[in-house]
Amino acid sequence: MTLDLRYTEEQEALRDSVRAMLTDHAGWARVLQVAASPEPDDADLWRLLSVDTGLAALAVPEHLGGAGASLAETAVVLEELGRAVAPVPYLGTTVAAQLLLHLGEDELLRDLAGGAIIAPAMPCDVGPAGPGARLPDVEVSTAADGSPLLNGTVCGVADASRARVLVMPAGGALFAVDADAAGLRRTPVVSLDETRPLCDLAMWNAPARLLAAGERAASALDAALVAGAALLASEQLGLAQWCLDTTVAHLRTRYQFGRPVGSFQALKHRLADLWVELVQARAVARHAVAAVAAGDPDARLAAALAQAHCGPLAVRAAEECVQMHGGIGFTWEHPAHLYLKRAKSAAIAYGTAAHHRTALATLADLAPA
Amino acid sequence: MGASATEPVTAESLRERVDGFLAGHDTAQDRLEFLRARFDAGLAWVHYPAGLGGLGAPRVLQPVVDQRFAAAGAPDNSPRRIGIGLGMAAPTILRHGTAEQRARFLRPLWTAEEVWCQLFSEPGAGSDLAGVATRAVRDGDGWLVDGQKVWTSMAHQARWGILLARTDPAAPKHAGLTYFLCDMHAPGVEVRPLRQATGEAEFNEVFLSGVRLDDGLRLGAVGEGWAVARTTLMNERVAIGGAALPREGGMIGVLARTWRTRPELRTPALHDEVLRLWVRAEALRLTGIRLRQQLAAGEPGPEGSAMKLAFAALTQQISGTEVELLGAEGLRHDHWRADRPEELDLTGRGPTYRWLRAKGNSIEGGTSEVLRNIVAERVLGLPAEPRTDTGVAWKDLPR
């Protein structure tokens, strides 16, 4: 299947409007203020993205309250959110929506489209879809009335701190858990990336509702993990683009030794190399979301490829951004550190590049030694 | 059979035109007669003007025509053999040539009756091409050319060369250049094979000693040679022809097949290396697909420079890893004969050949270092390096 890797005019228009909104409502000073506060995310910005504009449910069908768009549009929003390191639970909600769509959970999808945060209750480093995925070790027991109860802990969960509902894999099945239920405790983690902070979940006989079991649960989870890896690549792409743009702007105006610092080849060549990687990241990330959106049989490979390339690229872009800003780039008052922390955190989310290369060994028939 | 100004050319109308042409011309007839007739029918390069082998059609429609002719088993013009003519000489002649020059040169260029070479680089002017020292001096109604060119592929087969020469040494280096079409059969043109690290003589040195060129072979005005050369160079950089490769269609496919079929060679460290290279190769392949989609939609971007930089680094590393994977076996070279290959083949011959040939990828067509400067300045908008050679007469520059 030939997938179109370009942006449509509508997607470019979407990008412009999201960028304008984030410029107004998620400037880096605001992001830093939220990150340094006890709040896990920017509730005002989330309301804007969900209730006010419907951007949080772009890929949810219209009859369920969503915008009926595809993941290719969602990915454009994620590029802009990455560009702003916006502290909102957008990625987790999008992945949860994919799970719920597979399971036909219309009621929960309506809640999600209405602005409720629904998050997958998985460790953020769950890893590539497949048998190697690191799913939480949560036990399922049965209450007197026959309903399921969950026991165990899930550490390092992203986007769950203010979630209303958690979608939890346990015992080979998928459950919906009311996040305020008795028997479930969320403990905030002091996180490297406070723009997408983690929390730990602990459950003692937490009441749950069975969503799916067996093959149906496994395939829904699998598809959601593939979608998560693919979508995260777009966020990483947007983050890397901001780092490159900001560094170039700085090097054009910063003078040392009587000349713009950006005229030194030692820096120019590194940024040219970064641009070369970024150009490829755009193709790889667009390919991944296009493959997932089209249900292409290549989607799993495309998503693993996207993470193997875009995760390290975003880290490198953020590292270059810090380094090439010199002293100012190492300060709390410059946004570079927010991007550095998000990039490193995102390189681990949904599995590291090394995890995805291991997955590719199987997908591309390159067996280990 | 020129294009009508009122009738837009579409893929469908082009297919009809080709079919109409094929109905009147036997594909088994004399190859040259067939190609000349195809040129005269405007079906050579459809984006060229009517009367010069084209129909003034959008360039993206060219594959429609080529595929139709190929499907009919028609003879082609060996496009890889005449790549310099098609990709560099022709667009420059079209843009800067007189009516006489266009009429004289473009048809035999396209039909491959006349092979072209590029007389640009010199021993003292590689990355700094505008520093060329080959002199062209007025001689009555013509010019006398003296100098030495190097890295000239196909010179030994070429009938014509695109030549950058210095006509005013007292002017600053970019201002003193003039562009010529050099008759490679003229007295005083000597072509010598130049052997490379691979042992092959893919390129040549060209010595020009008192070569007399008619003034009608000057392309563009005297002193305007750099502007004309820039047309050539821009076309060199956008020339990424051909169809998109399938997955593992390039050099990575050779390495992947060796990995699959030779389990005894595998180590864990090499496994990760192979996977890293596979990721980079697939990323680059997808970048090429996206670039082609953008070009086809009329959205050209600067991504071609990224492709060239990434391609050079990747082929070098893939071939190096393959040699290591094979161990002592990888050190057996097939032969060191001074062959004269006509096409670049990065998947042919043995691993050591591939590794050596790939070293040229980051040098030919602009070194990776110069390309990084171009990306940094023209794509990213970073300031230029301070220069010491602007406003100085070429003859006074240190060298």
CATH of the domain at A272: 1.20.140.10
Tell me whether residues A262 and B383 touch, CB distance under 8 A: yes
Query: What digits encode the pLDDT tens for the residues B343-384?
Result: 767 788 999 999 999 999 999 888 999 999 999 999 999 999
What is the pLDDT at residue B1? 43
Q: Which domain holds residue A54?
A: 9-91+101-114
- Domain assignment present for residue A167? The answer is no
CATH assignment at residue A16: 1.10.540.10
- Pairwise pLDDT comparison (B1 vs B280), residue with the higher score: B280
- Domain assignment present for residue A96? The answer is no
Query: What distance in Å separates residue A317's CA from the closest CA in chain B?
Result: 14
pLDDT band at B61 (very low <50, low <70, confident <90, very high): confident
A4 touches chain B (CB under 8 A): yes
Q: Count the residues in chain A.
A: 369
What is the pLDDT at residue B6? 54
What is the pLDDT at residue B236? 64
What is the pLDDT at residue A42? 97
| Cβ contact B333:B352 at 8 Å | yes
The CATH number of the structural domain formed by B116-238 is 2.40.110.10
- Domain assignment present for residue A63? The answer is yes
Give the mutation candidate from B257, B270, B368, B375 for the A interface (greatest A CB count, under 10 A): B375
Tell me whether residues A305 and B381 touch, CB distance under 8 A: no
pLDDT average, residue stretch B138-163: 96
In the stretch 247-266 of chain B, residues with CB closer than 8 A to chain A read: 256, 259-260, 263, 266
- Domain assignment present for residue A139? The answer is no
B297 touches chain A (CB under 8 A): yes
What is the pLDDT at residue B259? 98
* Domain parsing of chain B, residue ranges: 1-76, 116-238, 251-366
Residue B69 has pLDDT above 90, yes or no: yes
Phi, psi (5° rounding) for residue A209? -120, 130
Nearest to B286 among A5, A259, A357 (CB): A5
pLDDT band at B244 (very low <50, low <70, confident <90, very high): confident
Task: Annotate B314-338 with DSSP letters as a single string.
Answer: HHHHHHHHHHHHHGGGGG-------
Query: What digits encode the pLDDT tens for the residues A213-255?
Result: 999 999 999 999 999 999 999 999 999 999 999 999 999 999 9
Residue B241 has pLDDT above 70, yes or no: no
Query: What digits encode the pLDDT tens for the residues B204-231?
Result: 999 999 999 999 999 999 999 999 999 8
Concerning whether B236 is annotated as a catalytic residue, the answer is yes
Q: What Å distances lie between residue A126 and A155, A217, A305, A311, CA to CA?
A: 11, 16, 17, 15
Among A114, A149, A183, the domain-final residue is: A114
**CATH class belonging to B251-366:** mainly alpha
| Cβ contact B155:B184 at 8 Å | yes
Among A114, A148, A174, the domain-final residue is: A114
What is the pLDDT at residue A238? 98
Q: For residue B283, which residues of chain A lie inside 8 Å, CB to CB?
A: 280-281, 283-284, 305, 309
Strands ordered across the beta sheet of A148-158 = A139-142, A148-158, A198-207, A184-188
B221 touches chain A (CB under 8 A): no
pLDDT band at B3 (very low <50, low <70, confident <90, very high): very low
Q: For residue A252, which residues of chain B lie inside 8 Å, CB to CB?
A: 381-383
pLDDT band at B242 (very low <50, low <70, confident <90, very high): very low
- Domain assignment present for residue A121? The answer is no
Our count of domains for chain A comes to 2
Percent residues over pLDDT 70 in chain B: 96
Residue of chain A with shortest Cα separation from B277? A357
- Domain assignment present for residue A84? The answer is yes
A359 and A221 within one domain: yes
Residue B93: other Cβ atoms inside 10 A = 26
CA-closest candidate to residue B128, choices B304, B367, B306, B315: B367
- CA–centroid distance for A222 within its chain: 16
What is the pLDDT at residue B85? 94
Nearest to A6 among B256, B290, B382 (CB): B290
CA-closest candidate to residue A291, choices A306, A276, A270: A306
Among A80, A114, A148, the domain-final residue is: A114
pLDDT average, residue stretch B321-330: 96
Query: What digits encode the pLDDT tens for the residues A176-222?
Result: 999 999 999 999 999 999 999 999 999 999 999 999 999 999 999 99
| Cβ contact A176:A212 at 8 Å | no
A109 and A225 within one domain: no
A271 touches chain B (CB under 8 A): yes
| Cβ contact B232:B181 at 8 Å | no
Residue listed under structure tokens 């297919």: B15
Tokens of B272: 């990760």
Tokens of B63: 């594959």
pLDDT average, residue stretch B295-314: 85
Tell me whether residues B286 and A283 touch, CB distance under 8 A: yes
B379 touches chain A (CB under 8 A): yes
C-alpha triplet A16, A17, A19: angle, nearest 5°: 65
In the stretch 310-329 of chain B, residues with CB closer than 8 A to chain A read: 310
What is the pLDDT at residue B60? 81
What is the pLDDT at residue B237? 55
A107 and A233 within one domain: no
- Average pLDDT over chain B reads 92
What is the pLDDT at residue B238? 52
Q: For residue B271, which residues of chain A lie inside 8 Å, CB to CB?
A: 361, 366, 368-369
Enumerate residue ranges in chain A where pLDDT < 50. Answer: none
**Residue in B200, B202, B236, B273 annotated catalytic:** B236
Rounded distance between C-alpha atoms, residue B396 and residue B399, angstroms:
9
What is the pLDDT at residue B243? 55
A240 and A109 within one domain: no
